[in-house]
Amino acid sequence: MSLRTALKALPTMLRIGFSEAVAYRAEMIIWVLATTMPLIMLALWSAVARGGPVGRFGQAEFTGYFLAAFCVRQMTSSWVAWLVSYEVKQGTLAMRLLRPISPLLAYATEVLAGIPLRVAIVLPVLGISLWVAGAERAVPTSLGGWGLFALGITGAWLITFYLNVLLGTLSLFLESSQKLMEVYMVLFFVCSGYMFPVEFFPPGVRTVMEWLPFRYQMGLPVELMTGAHSAKDAWALLGAQWTWVLGLGVVSLTVWRRGLARFAAFGG
């Protein structure tokens, strides 16, 4: 597939993906309800903060952080690992391989096409955050801040997508990659800043987490959204994030190509 063919087909694939997202909107609402952990953590940590600030977090800061975490989760989620694993088991991956478009591009457009519907869910939550926490704790307050956040959330989406491709492709090498996906989700919940800010960990543990990709999937874009870093620190963290993007991109695409060489499906 040439780049020209891919670019020509991209608008059509996005339109099809959006139509599917609208058709399966009830499923999307159920998924959104399953990602309300930040709202639960907001209630818990706000109760803790009534007795006094926790680090730099008072009740308003917790509100801004966890509502931002909810919004970032909606914008960066991906289910490609489960989709690839299912299609490998069922043999239906063969149908994608027969098309003149890369299956990875098809998976990516299916995920991206649902973002307009997710924005419709995010906007009211963002409005509540602005009202309760104030603009300086809810969204970037400068054009440069919005630019850093755009880079951060794009990098977070790419890391999540590549990790999903990598985990899903492992089903071509293993009997099942389901257990690995479950381990991945546990590590994501604990290490990404999804359930509590990364800065709550002891310095030694936080140093280890800086070397893992999870913090750059959730914690960094949330921190950029809520203005937790100076421009200098933000660029340093974005450098680490995009290093993960490039590294995971190379590894996941290499594993994908080698995995396809092992794929076999039989019709009946």
pLDDT of residue 114: 84
Q: Is 173 helix (H, G, I), strand (E, B) or coil?
A: coil
Mean pLDDT lowest among 114-118, 239-243, 246-250: 114-118
Q: Please, where are the H alpha helices in the chain?
A: 3-23, 25-33, 37-49, 59-76, 80-90, 93-98, 103-112, 115-133, 135-138, 143-169, 178-191, 203-210, 214-217, 219-225, 231-260
Domain assignment present for residue 160? The answer is yes
Give yes or no for residue 121 having a pLDDT over 90. Answer: no
Residue with tokens 């209630």: 43
Mean local confidence (pLDDT), 211-239: 94
Domain assignment present for residue 141? The answer is yes
Domain assignment present for residue 258? The answer is yes
Domain assignment present for residue 9? The answer is yes
Q: pLDDT confidence of 3, banded at 50, 70, 90?
A: low
Give yes or no for residue 6 having a pLDDT over 80. Answer: no
d(CA 251, CA 256): 8
CB 139 within 8 A of CB 130: yes
Domain extent for 122: 3-262
Give yes or no for residue 232 having a pLDDT over 70. Answer: yes
Domain assignment present for residue 267? The answer is no
Domain assignment present for residue 105? The answer is yes
d(CA 209, CA 237): 12
Q: pLDDT confidence of 224, banded at 50, 70, 90?
A: very high
Residues 6+ apart with CB under 8 A from 172: 88, 259, 260, 262, 263
CB 263 within 8 A of CB 93: yes
Q: Considering its fold, how many domains does the chain have in total?
A: 1
d(CA 40, CA 66): 9
Q: Which of 41, 49, 33, 34 is nearest to 67 (CA)?
A: 41
Q: Is 43 helix (H, G, I), strand (E, B) or coil?
A: helix
pLDDT of residue 268: 47
Mean residue pLDDT across the chain: 88
Domain assignment present for residue 268? The answer is no
d(CA 39, CA 41): 5
Q: pLDDT confidence of 9, banded at 50, 70, 90?
A: confident
pLDDT of residue 77: 87
Mean local confidence (pLDDT), 29-40: 81
Mean local confidence (pLDDT), 231-235: 94
pLDDT of residue 93: 86
Domain assignment present for residue 217? The answer is yes
pLDDT of residue 151: 97
Residue with tokens 């492992």: 170
pLDDT of residue 98: 84
